[in-house]
């Protein structure tokens, strides 16, 4: 028993050391690639970074960590899996945030997004480190522990946005979202609406293209549990729907106009299903800030029902808490090369 306890203690110590190493490495370098010397996908990621860096003045030099050359390589890879839910290499961080593996980085490079990320990486990393330091100070006063590497656990934001923890892109991997505000505190002059119309990847891209929409965030709303994760929402036990938080300027784009985009993304007369996605997390929903806005949405629903001769299933509520999804789900399709510019009309292709 003593030997077993000693082994367990040693494993825990090694895991803690690996976690600390990953966190400190990510915090110290604007670009980090956790790699293996023989891995072709790692080479792909490095080449994509090098290609994008050619167009960026003073692009940060990637800090390469070859796990197969380290004695603690297996422990570091396990630490990365705990942090990002990616169990394979490469694992690439830009500005303190994981951006995925070889295919992900290559797609970002092709779309031009990686250049923008590299330009902003030093500033983004400084902001992430400052936020992590503030979080640690707050935690030391008894309000909770900071997440490793500056990643933050899910917070509920009433209509607001908070930084999301990293996560996998599949329902199979558990992870935490970001605490929310409810849909009741828009910035001055702006309005906020939460739209649920199936998988939030395509919904976010559709609204991001709309002129007058100043901010979109994928997340969860409408359920009873706090700090939901993608996997828990996919499991259906939380009661949350996948939604997109849309902050818009009503002087440029009205709620009526946004409802047209919403209706184009799904059939609001079908309950708990959009295409091949089935479950309460894919339900049709519009969560607004005021009773007047809710009345406007109900009037829209009545017109749709009358036109289609079917009842509209859209859930319409006010003041619903919103939880920002994990960072890996934010701008998911844009990161993979689909156009998000205002007014774009290219077909939105949904894929995992």
pLDDT digits (tens, 9 = 90+) for 133-175: 877 777 766 544 433 333 333 444 433 333 333 333 333 333 4
> What is the predicted pLDDT for the residue at 141?
65
Q: Which residues of the chain are modeled with pLDDT < 50?
A: 143-176, 184, 352
The closest of 98, 84, 77 to 32, measured between CA atoms, is: 98
> What is the predicted pLDDT for the residue at 187?
59
> What is the predicted pLDDT for the residue at 5?
58
Bridge partner residues of 228 (DSSP): none
Dihedral sign computed on CA atoms, order 110, 112, 118, 123? negative
Strands (E), 74-135: 91-94, 97-100
Residues with catalytic function: 199
The Cα–Cα gap between 273 and 351 comes to 17
Rounded to 5 degrees, what are φ and ψ at 11? -65, -40
Angle formed by the axes of helices 113-138 and 2-28, to 10°?
Answer: 120
Task: Return the exposure string of 226-237: e unless at least 16 CB atoms fall within 10 Å of the residue's CB, then b.
Answer: ebbbbbbbbeee
pTM of the predicted structure, to 2 decimals: 0.53
> What is the predicted pLDDT for the residue at 13?
86
Q: Tell me the per-residue pLDDT of 65-111, one tens digit each, with 9 for 90 and over.
A: 999 999 999 999 999 989 888 888 999 999 898 888 888 888 888 87
The C-alpha angle with vertex 323 and arms to 27 and 21, in degrees rounded to 5, equals 20
DSSP code of 105?
H
Strands (E), 27-137: 31-35, 63-66, 91-94, 97-100
């Amino acid at each position: 028993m003593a030997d077993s306890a000693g082994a367990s203690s040693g494993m825990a110590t090694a895991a803690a050391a690996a976690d600390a190493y990953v966190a400190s490495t990510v915090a110290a370098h604007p670009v980090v690639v956790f790699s293996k010397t023989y891995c072709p996908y790692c080479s792909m990621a490095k080449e994509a970074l090098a290609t994008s860096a050619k167009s960026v003045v003073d692009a940060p030099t990637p800090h390469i960590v070859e796990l197969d050359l380290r004695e603690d390589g297996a422990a570091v890879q396990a630490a990365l899996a705990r942090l990002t839910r990616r169990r394979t290499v490469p694992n690439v961080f830009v500005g303190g945030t994981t951006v995925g593996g070889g295919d992900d980085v290559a797609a970002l490079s092709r779309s031009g997004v990686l250049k923008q990320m590299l330009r902003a990486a030093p500033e983004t990393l400084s902001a992430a480190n400052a936020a992590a330091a503030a979080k640690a100070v707050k935690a030391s006063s008894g309000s909770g522990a900071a997440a490793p590497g500056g990643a933050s656990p899910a917070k509920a934001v009433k209509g607001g946005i908070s930084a999301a923890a990293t996560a996998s892109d599949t329902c199979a991997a558990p992870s935490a979202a970001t605490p929310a505000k409810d849909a009741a505190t828009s910035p001055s002059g702006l309005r906020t609406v939460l739209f649920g119309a199936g998988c939030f990847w395509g919904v976010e891209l559709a609204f991001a293209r709309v002129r007058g929409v100043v901010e979109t965030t994928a997340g969860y709303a409408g359920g009873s549990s706090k700090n939901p994760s993608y996997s828990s929402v996919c499991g259906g036990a939380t009661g949350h729907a996948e939604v997109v938080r849309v902050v818009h300027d009503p002087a440029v784009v009205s709620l009526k106009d946004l409802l047209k985009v919403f209706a184009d993304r799904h059939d609001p007369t079908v309950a708990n299903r959009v295409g091949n996605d089935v479950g309460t997390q894919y339900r049709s929903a519009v969560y607004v800030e005021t009773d007047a806005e809710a009345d406007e949405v109900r009037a829209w629903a009545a017109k749709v029902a009358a036109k289609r001769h079917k009842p509209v299933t859209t859930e319409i509520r006010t003041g619903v808490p919103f939880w920002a999804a994990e960072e890996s789900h934010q701008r998911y399709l844009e990161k993979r090369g689909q156009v998000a510019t205002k007014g774009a009309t290219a077909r939105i292709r949904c894929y995992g």
